[in-house]
Amino acid sequence: MTVTGTGQPVNAAQAPTRHPLDPVTEAEFTVGREVMARAGLVRESTRFAYVGLEEPAKQHVLSGPGGTGCERRLRAFLIDLATGRSSDVVVSLDKGEVVSRRDIDCTKEGQLPILEEDFERIDQAVHNDAAWRAAMEKRGLTDMSKIRTCPLTAGSHVFPGEEGRRMVRVLAFVQEDEADLAWAHPVDGVVAYVDIIEGRVLQLVDDVNLAVPVQSGNYDDEKVSGPPRTTLRPIEISQPEGSSLRVDGHRVDWDRWTLRVGFDAREGLVLYQVCYQDGSRQRPIIYRASVPEMVVPYGDPSPTRFFQAYFDSGEFLLGRYANSLELGCDCLGEITYLDATVTDDYGRPRTIANAICLHEEDFGILWKHTDIFNHSAQTRRQRRLVVSFFCTVGNYDYGFYWYFYLDGTIELEIKLTGVIFTSAYPGPGYRYATEVAPGLGGPYHQHLFSARLDMMVDGVPNAVEEVDVEAPPLGPDNPYGNALVRSVTRLKREGEGRRLAAPAKGRFWQVLSTERANSLGQPAAYALVPQVAPTLLADPSSAIYGRAGFATHHLSVTAYDPAQRYSAGDFVNQHPGGGGLPSYVSGDRAIDGTDIVLWHTFGPTHIPRPEDWPVMPVERCGFSLKPMGFFDRNPALDVAPPARHCHEGSP
């Protein structure tokens, strides 16, 4: 269902014939489950760790009008809770049959994502463990009903007895009452290692007895936040003639832009077939864009926290935790919403209402000039299309915002907010955390996102060039020392395509068509402009470095392969390392003038501040894709002047 800002549903009967890249519907999820059940793959103990669209290969989608003729398939990860046996299944919805099924070697390939049902099983196992209860009582915590367990993925540390087990490591927090913010009261120095399948604690590490912080963090309590300020007057966003946005099924048209909006339980928001209408030509730029993985490695090496590193997509399925957005709170203005459909642990469809927000917004000056010779004074205002969703994974909330501008620029901005993961603060001089409240620590950590950009700049054959800005040495070519030149390096094979940003050189990467040029003879191109921040800071010998190989470079370029969809590999949870991008580039395939995919790592290294507590103001990160010779001149010259004259009403 699509809902406008006025709350009026669009009649589903008006939806066009389904496109092969459209999200899976409730009916399709139901059919897929029935097919697997008929094939004997669904028992009472079977759970569905993931179900999503098995997308047809790009060449099949592009071969016919509207991608007609592509088979609709689902991919499902199944786990038997009685045995831990896991399988990877592909189902044809058109044929009503299982296309393939294979068992997963969890020791070598990794475990399936955490189930929602796992949290209850883990909580029971921990609360029933005598050693854990004794550790709580040693800390003066006798009311076990107030202790909240926090299951965290185990990583891959090859401790004796853990091989092949489906595990988590569990920390704890105290919640005094239903309204209390449990993150304010970490029970530090103790961690339980839990076998999820067996439902028992394998090992308890009780390292140090630290005081549980007691100060309240209830940010929605006026005793903590203070009374609401009264100095701000209302701001109203209105479009008297309605939105310029047009939505037809999952196709979105806005100004010169056309794209398709998809959604996946693992990746969240997915954009397809992003094109710009340039005169009579609809010019492709991106075939598929998503953020298939993110990793949050923590930097506290204590015996009860060293393992903390979460892959929120591959381990927890962040799309599954998308918020239902509210008009006037999450989105402001003339809004169009799209629902998202995912599945529960039993493979049954569940629809998240208003999961995706689409709207346009003013964004200041587009271009402006007051000329000293001809006295022309012209201003045009920038506007952008916003496609976004928000999800909550544990303590953090993440907003993913794709922006499309009138001048052909594309941006991705991720907004990080929520509550920082806390620890007890041992005392002054502790090197691995900031004291954010009395006795409460905010451990240092990173948020490293991986964007997958299946580029298609003016067609499938593309190439990548690394561009640095350099000052030549003083000499005959630079007699006055003021020269600036571009240094361009063509990336020809995957081994050359793993790159680091270089802020001192103003480095960017341009994706260019090897078939089309502009009127000046320059190749049509788009530039990936990074926001430079550190890549993964963990030691190369560490377990997390091996598992998060995608995060060790700002850029990787690979030859297109429809099976290579996830930055850290298909099965991330407890994977021993080397999966995903490091394995993708090992073949050193050609990437010059062929079908290529860009993988871009970005995100903040977070040194928490007291100002980040008890709820964190939004932190932003992202990147830009800017036309670089894609157009012959400024493509926004024809934007109309503001509806009201700029000087009207001025004193």
Q: How far is CA 121 from CA 55, 389, 609, in A?
A: 33, 30, 35
How far apart, in whole angstroms, are the C-alpha atoms of residue 286 and residue 262? Answer: 14
How far apart, in whole angstroms, are the C-alpha atoms of residue 98 and residue 36? Answer: 7
Token pair in block for residue 324:
């239902």
Catalytic residue among 88, 118, 129, 312: 312
Identify the bridge partners of residue 295 per DSSP, sorted by sequence position.
311, 448
Q: For residue 467, give every residue at least 6 positions away whose Cβ sits within 8 Å of its Cβ, in sequence order, or none.
A: 486, 487, 488, 507, 508, 509, 510, 527
**CA neighbours closer than 13 Å in the CB half-sphere of residue 54:** 22
Residue type, 3: V
> Can you tell me which residue has the tokens 């598992």?
547
How far apart, in whole angstroms, are the C-alpha atoms of residue 400 and residue 330? Answer: 12
How far apart, in whole angstroms, are the C-alpha atoms of residue 132 and residue 2? Answer: 49
How far apart, in whole angstroms, are the C-alpha atoms of residue 190 and residue 415? Answer: 32
Contact 614, 420 (CB under 8 A): no
How far apart, in whole angstroms, are the C-alpha atoms of residue 33 and residue 45? Answer: 15
DSSP string computed for 331-371: B-SS-EEEEEEEE-TTS-EEEEEEEEEEEEEEEEEEEEEE-
How far apart, in whole angstroms, are the C-alpha atoms of residue 497 and residue 401? Answer: 27
How far apart, in whole angstroms, are the C-alpha atoms of residue 394 and residue 119? Answer: 12
Catalytic residue among 50, 272, 310, 396: 396
Residue 82, classified by CB atoms within 10 Å of its CB into exposed (0-12), middle (13-18) or buried (19+), is exposed
Token pair in block for residue 142:
């006798």
Q: How far is CA 403 from CA 168, 243, 357, in A?
A: 37, 16, 12
How far apart, in whole angstroms, are the C-alpha atoms of residue 480 and residue 472? Answer: 11
Q: DSSP class of residue 111?
A: B
Contact 381, 365 (CB under 8 A): yes
Nearest Cα neighbor of 102 from 87, 90, 85 is 87
Contact 533, 482 (CB under 8 A): no
Residues in the chain: 651
Contact 591, 462 (CB under 8 A): no
Contact 511, 525 (CB under 8 A): yes
Q: For 339, phi and psi rounded to 5 degrees?
A: -80, 165
Alpha carbon 600 to its chain's center: 12
Whether 396 is catalytic: yes
Q: Give me the sign of the Cα torsion angle 560, 562, 566, 570.
A: negative
Whether 638 is catalytic: no
3-class secondary-structure state, position 497: coil
- Alpha helix positions (H), 128-163: 130-138
Rounded (10°) angle between helices 130-138 and 116-127: 70
Residue type, 592: D
Q: For residue 651, give every residue at least 6 positions away whose Cβ sits within 8 Å of its Cβ, in sequence order, or none.
A: none
Active site residues: 312, 396
